[in-house]
Amino acid sequence: MMPKIVVTQPIHEAVLARLRSAGDVVMNQGPEPWSEEELYLHLKDADAMMAFMPDRVNRRTLLNAPRLKTIACALKGYDNFDLMACAQAGVSVSFVPDLLTEPTAELAIGLAIAAARHVLAGDTRIRRGYAGWRPQLYGIGLHGSVVSVVGLGAVGRAIVDRLCGFGCAQLLGVDPHGDDERLTMVSLGEALSQSDYVILAVPLLDVTRHLVNDTMLEGVRRGQILVNIGRGSVVDEAAVARALKDERLGAYAADVYEMEDWLLADRPRQIHPELLQHPSTVFTPHIGSAVKKVRLAIELRAAENLLLALSGSEPLDLCEAFHRADPMPALPCSG
């Protein structure tokens, strides 16, 4: 029998054809994710899964997928997947580490400019009827500004690459493990107190959850533009809403949200309503990698990882946890 491959979101035809050459493919027509019950139904006899941002995999998922051998994530940040549970169950997990870097860095700059230059407010005024130039909607530019990048992984460094062309007065970096000769390295508190812009490019870890919170925002430079393209729960959205309300922050722009961090049991179930209502916010629906040729390349890489695992070989982008896990303890049978 051909292996069963479950694909949880629509993929490009070329990628679908590649997978169909190696197995029986069941694909969600999307764009809405399957319910948990639908996913379990498809996974109960599946050998492989291609996963996307809305998916989460935990021990319960694995109990409902007894034949599952591999999960190929068509994404970079895999914090919605319980890697240790997967490793203990003998289910390999792979991801796509590099292809999202450039488009995400581009979006970070776009969000920063949109927030600081009142792009959404200007668009709204034009659509309501334009009578010509008026002395209004004055903002701040990147040129001549102090800009901090928090997190100097691949995306953070790519953001710095782009900022170097804007004539910023100073570039600051925040990363205990990073260094860059183009940056002055500072603490997060120093970055928040000194910068006109702060761009967050931080993964979600125990130590980075709510890294930006009420305490940190007490010392923020007044009028600062805060941009989050890392992970939603790196910021406390309620604290950001309070900082906007009392005008400590000048604007907040984000492509990621606390509600999306599925494995956190106490995550909010919606974006903080005061953020949605505030006029000095700019939001995009997690489109950091939403460039056509990039999405195709991501899917192709995920498919390659999946097919290698099904053939008995190690995926190119195997998550580290798979190498270091202990066997899964006995678990009760699923209902």
Cβ atoms of 256 and 232 closer than 8 Å: yes
Name the catalytic one among 59, 60, 267, 286: 286
Pairing of strands 24-27, 4-7: parallel
Structural domains in the chain plus CATH codes:
4-98+292-311 (3.40.50.720), 100-283 (3.40.50.720)
Single-letter residue type at 96? V
134 is catalytic: no
> Residue 279 corresponds to which tokens in the numbers above?
């006029």
Q: What is the 3-state secondary structure (H, E, C) of the chain?
A: CCCEEEECCCCCHHHHHHHHCCCEEEECCCCCCCCHHHHHHHHCCCCEEEECCCCCECHHHHHCCCCCCEEEECCCCCCCECHHHHHHCCCEEECCCCCCHHHHHHHHHHHHHHHHCCHHHHHHHHHCCCCCCCCCCCCCCCCCCEEEEECCCHHHHHHHHHHCCCCCCEEEEECCCCCCCCCEECCHHHHHHHCCEEEECCCCCCCCCCCECHHHHHCCCCCEEEEECCCHHHECHHHHHHHHHCCCEEEEEECCCHHHCCCCCCCCCCCCHHHHHCCCEEECCCCCCCCHHHHHHHHHHHHHHHHHHHCCCCCCCECCHHHHCCCCCCCCCCC
Reported as a single tens digit per residue, the pLDDT across 130-160 is: 999 999 999 999 999 999 999 999 999 999 9
Please state the pTM of the whole predicted model: 0.87
118 is catalytic: no
Geometric angle at alpha carbon 317, from 35 and 64, rounded to 5°: 30
260 is catalytic: yes
Beta bridge partners of 318: 94
Give the CA dihedral 48, 53, 54, 58, nearest 10 degrees. 60
Largest CA distance in the chain: 71
Beta bridge partners of 73: 51
Name the catalytic one among 237, 258, 260, 304: 260
Name the catalytic one among 231, 248, 295, 301: 231
Burial grade of 123 (CB within 10 A; 0-12, 13-18, 19 or more): exposed
Reported as a single tens digit per residue, the pLDDT across 266-279 is: 999 999 999 999 99
Per-residue pLDDT of the chain (335 residues), as tens digits, is 899 999 999 999 999 999 999 999 999 998 999 999 999 999 999 999 999 999 999 999 999 999 999 999 999 877 889 999 998 999 999 999 889 999 999 999 999 999 999 999 999 999 999 999 999 999 999 999 999 999 999 999 999 999 999 999 999 999 998 889 999 999 999 999 999 999 999 999 899 999 999 999 999 999 999 999 999 999 999 999 999 999 999 999 999 999 999 888 899 999 999 999 999 999 999 999 999 999 999 999 999 999 999 999 999 999 875 544 333 333 222 22
The gap from C-alpha 105 to its chain's centroid, in whole angstroms, comes to: 12
